[in-house]
A and B are shown apart, each in its own frame.
Chain A
């Protein structure tokens, strides 16, 4: 399993592309695409009220990649999280993970800010 995931990780890196891409779009309203630089990249929920319009998930995607996907659907921002990865068995504390930069999967939650009355 370790070898299989490592090889998949390597292939993804070498090809500079993503794998196991799976997206979900919520709701019936669709928005016009916007320039990628207009989409905020967040790593936590914003303080402003928002609506989730889509979820993106893939192996190997960067924050910039998720930003690009979000721009295509007209999102105001994308909340990016990297999950999974290798774990150093020498670690003894649950709160410490020296291998957070080996995340196997990238997820982006595309949002639209709600208009304040």
Chain B
């Protein structure tokens, strides 16, 4: 019964238009203290400050016009990894209708 409920929840989540997804993969060694999502910066270019990479981020499921909201989702999900910022290496729309916004990036922590 528990498994049926879990499966139902999963499938419901997939089809709900109110949910997007952020997949985070850690690449750094060790533990970094979680940060405040509000303080996480979003960069489209390499920041002029020494940093270490913590992990990569893949975002999907946002409508085409929800760029700022997608950035907030990235902040929320990068914070537990200990990120100070995320550098977006790719961002755009899926090639087929209903065009969805996606982003790929690298979560980083300042060295100094």
Interface majority SS (helix, strand, loop, mixed), chain B: mixed
Q: Is the CB of B31 within 8 A of A79?
A: yes
Q: Is the CB of A13 within 8 A of B3?
A: yes
Q: Is the CB of A5 within 8 A of B29?
A: no
The yes or no answer to B93 lying at the interface (CB within 8 A) is no
Q: Is the CB of A87 within 8 A of B29?
A: no
Interface range for B: 35 or more
Q: B55-94: which residues lie under 8 A (CB-CB) from chain A?
A: 55, 58, 60-63, 66, 69, 72-73, 75-77, 80-81
The yes or no answer to B10 lying at the interface (CB within 8 A) is yes
The yes or no answer to B45 lying at the interface (CB within 8 A) is no
Using a CB–CB cutoff of 8 Å, the interface residues on chain A facing chain B are: 1-3, 5-7, 9-10, 13-14, 24, 26, 44-45, 52, 55, 57, 79, 81-97, 99, 102, 104-105, 107, 109
Using a CB–CB cutoff of 8 Å, the interface residues on chain B facing chain A are: 3, 6-7, 10-11, 13-15, 17-26, 29-31, 33-34, 36-38, 40, 55, 58, 60-63, 66, 69, 72-73, 75-77, 80-81, 102
Enumerate 21 A-B pairs (CB-CB under 8 Å) in ascending A order.
Answer: A1-B61, A1-B102, A3-B15, A5-B14, A6-B11, A6-B13, A26-B29, A44-B34, A45-B33, A55-B26, A81-B80, A84-B25, A85-B21, A89-B18, A89-B73, A93-B38, A94-B38, A94-B40, A94-B72, A95-B37, A99-B19
Given contacts A81-B34, A85-B21, A92-B72, 11 further A-B contacts (CB under 8 A): A1-B21, A2-B21, A5-B23, A55-B30, A83-B24, A84-B24, A86-B19, A89-B69, A93-B38, A94-B72, A107-B26
